[in-house]
Amino acid sequence: MAGVRLDLDNGDLHILKHNMTANKKKKQGVKFFLIILASTVFAVLLHQVHHDPLMTLSTKAKSIIITSGYFPPVAFASLTMAFCIMGLMFLAIQKTLHGTKQLKGALFGIALGGMYLIGMMEAYVLFPVSLFGEFYTGMVDGSGILLMSLLLGKYMADDMTDRERLARPTFPATLIIPVIYVLMRYFSYTVLHIESSYFTRPLATFIWTAGMGCWGGVMYIFIGRGIGYENPLKQAMVFGGLVFGINWVIFNLFGLLFIRVSVLDLLHRSIFDSLAIMIGVYVSFLFQEITQRQRPRSESETTGSHLK
């Protein structure tokens, strides 16, 4: 009888633990949904102050979504989906980031929000639209992303203040990633013939391209150095292909909500930009490995010369 009762007690304990785990996951899911919803609503409300200039662009045909009158619900659903993907991505990589959970959220939000802000400025280079309008639109989206990241950091991330920093130095990436991005973009301008102002506004095109490349380097420093730190290919694939790449594809596809534009053109620029970041991360990693191997050798040679 005692053995039977013990089995029943163990069975009840197992069921209780299972129910507690299920309830915890459900609460986390609800918390995640509310954070995404609140951040989306926040951004949408700010968008009502000043609409994106692409909505009234005269040199391009308006999208079917605008002409059919379905823009508000489609835009809201699209922004919610984008925030949801970003949020899931943050939760997936947050354990690779160093610092408090609030700092993790802030760095992720600044990195992705800055990408949206600078990315939005390309419309000013490409089309006859208001600089302030595109800047405001980018700021609003970036603010929503930052709010989402801060909330996810505070309520769903983990502190990693006592973890040894297993990350690459900043110098090679801040130089190599922008250079490779600029080279790849100009390949896209001249060979793939993606839509650009390469001939009509060469200086503005270069400034934006260099700025976007530099921000790719900043993003890597903020949130990419701890990802797959022991494997250069893994780090390049995860950061360049997933963290930067997926969000950059989604950002560019937002253009379809406003104007009629080639989907292939948007995919070309997104894929080759992501490839540039991947190559930049990989080369930066290898460059640092080579310099680290040469340093002990030079130090030993210096020590030997002093002994002589």
Tally of CA atoms within 13 A in the half-sphere of 72 that contains its CB: 4
Are 153 and 107 in contact, with CB atoms under 8 Å apart?
no
For residue 243 the two structure tokens come to 């963290």
In a domain? residue 188: yes
Mean pLDDT, range 66-89, rounded to an integer: 96
CA distance 25 to 116: 31
| Assigned domain for 60 exists | yes
pLDDT, tens only, 162-188: 555 555 566 788 899 999 999 999 999
**Burial of residue 210 (number of CB atoms within 10 Å: 0-12, 13-18, 19+):** middle
Kindly state the percentage of the chain with pLDDT values over 90. 72
Express each pLDDT in 107-142 by its tens digit: 999 999 999 999 999 999 999 999 999 999 999 999
More confident residue, 99 or 165: 99
In a domain, 2, yes or no: no
The closest alpha carbon to 112, from 77, 147, 160, 78, belongs to 147
Number of domains in the chain: 1
pTM: 0.88
- Does 29 fall in a domain? no
Residue 16: inside a domain:
no
Q: Is pLDDT above 50 for 307? A: no
**Average pLDDT for residues 277-295, to the nearest whole number?**
85
- What pLDDT score was predicted for residue 289? 79
pLDDT digits (tens, 9 = 90+) for 73-84: 999 999 999 999
Question: In this structure, is residue 153 part of a structural domain?
Answer: yes
Nearest partner of 108 among 258, 246, 262, 223, judged by Cα:
223
pLDDT of residue 295: 60
Tokens encoding 293: 């191997």
Does 24 reside within a domain?
Answer: no
Q: In the chain, how many H helices and how many E strands?
A: 10, 0
What pLDDT sits at residue 179? 97
Q: What is the mean pLDDT of the chain?
A: 88
- Return the pLDDT at 23: 79
Mean pLDDT, rounded, for 179-208: 96
pLDDT band at residue 6 under the 50/70/90 scheme: very low
What's the rounded Cα separation, in Å, for the pair 265 and 249? 11
As a whole number of angstroms, the distance between CA 137 and CA 139 comes to 5
pLDDT at 2 over 60: no
Residue-number span of the structural domain to which 65 is assigned: 34-300
Query: Is 23 a member of any domain?
Result: no
